[in-house]
Amino acid sequence: MIYESYLAVAALFAIGLFCVTFKSNLVKKVMGLGIIANSIHILYITIGYRGDSINPIVTPQNAAAFAQYTVDPIPQALVLTAIVIDMCVTSLALIIIIWVQRRFGTVEMKEIKHLKG
């Protein structure tokens, strides 16, 4: 089960890297960065996973076994923070793309390189 998650992370990272590297459309590059960020989020959650574990919430029934058998909540908290940061970075990148489109009339990198502004 855990190895399938690592394979999914590697596949998503490769797809995002392909988009960032080989696509000339700026919007597609930003989408590739989002895919890379989400693959890293999945990796963090996968690293914090423990098989046969319980939620990290203390109740009278699980207080004795809380430290040994709970899922680590730290990666979950880090991923929640990273999602908010990624949303802000993506919105800033899209604002810059809108500015580039208004300035140059295109969002294609190949055409922008040939334009003088």
Which two structure tokens, joined as six digits, stand for 52? Answer: 């046969």
For the chain, the C-alpha Rg in angstroms (whole number) is 20
Mean pLDDT of the chain: 88
**Token pair of 106, please?**
């295109």
- At 62, the pLDDT band (50, 70, 90 cuts) reads low
Q: What is the pLDDT of residues 72-100, one digit of tens each?
A: 788 889 999 999 999 999 999 999 999 99
Q: What average pLDDT does range 57-85 have in this prediction?
A: 80
User: So what's the pLDDT on residue 1?
Assistant: 63
Question: Which pTM does this prediction carry?
Answer: 0.84
Domains, the chain: 2-57+64-114 (1.10.287.3510)
Q: What is the DSSP string of 14-71?
A: HHHHHHHHH--BHHHHHHHHHHHHHHHHHHHHHHT--TT-B-S---TTTSTTHHHHBP
